[in-house]
Amino acid sequence: MAAPQKNSAVRFFAELPILAAIALALLFIIKSFIAQPYYIPSGSMEPQLHVGDRVLVSKLAYRLHDPNRGDIIVFPSPEDHSAGDQGTLPGKLVRGVLEAVGLREPPKTILIKRVVALSGETVEGRDGHVYINGRMLIEPYLPKSVVTDDFGPTTVPKGDLWVMGDNRSNSEDSHIFGPITESSVIGRAILKVWPPGQTSFL
């Protein structure tokens, strides 16, 4: 009886690299086209999202509908002009897998902010609040103590979005680098998945 058990163990270890490759391929497909966890790297979205929290980012959301005001989105910083990661292929794969499961911080050039103004709208920071087309924007997701610095007025170009962090005093966002292109959006944060016991829809 020992021989069949030995053959079974040999088959298992022989098939293990194939199973691992399939798992990595599925993970890559899910990360690239469907959804992936995202590690919150800064306090710009406090108090709703804190450093170290993880959120699930849908990459399908904006194939079904246009961005809406109030959506929390992930996108590359428009101020990043680097030529890209020049690391080795194995290193890139390892980093990609760790980022895909939310165990590694994303590059500092990947940002998470809230959509505040849409294409064609005129946005302005005045008297501690945001104004859209001259009317004060009601932002129920902000604590009452939050004050928005003065900026603008700025008309958001066609195909662009105006994004801001909830932590207005500690956020590098559109009031610094201007609107972002809608086509650059990686996805919409739809669910807070970490830490345990604090899961919530966004």
Q: Are 117 and 69 in contact (CB under 8 A)?
A: yes
Beta-bridge partner residues of 199: none
Instruction: State how far the alpha carbon of 37 is from the alpha carbons of 40, 101, 118, 161, in Å.
Output: 10, 6, 26, 23
Residue 45 burial (CB count, 10 A): 26
- Choose the catalytic residue: 31, 59, 113, 192: 113
Let me know if 113 is a catalytic residue. yes
Instruction: State how far the alpha carbon of 12 is from the alpha carbons of 8, 15, 26, in Å.
Output: 6, 5, 20
Q: Hey, which bits of the chain come out as E strands?
A: 35-39, 54-58, 72-76, 110-117, 122-126, 129-132, 135-136, 151-155, 160-164, 180-181, 187-194, 200-201
The residue among 92, 13, 20, 59 whose CA lies nearest residue 190 is 59
* SS3 category, 61: helix
CA 79 – CA 99 distance, rounded (Å):
22
- Choose the catalytic residue: 42, 44, 58, 174: 44
* SS3 category, 66: coil
Q: Which residues are catalytic?
A: 44, 113
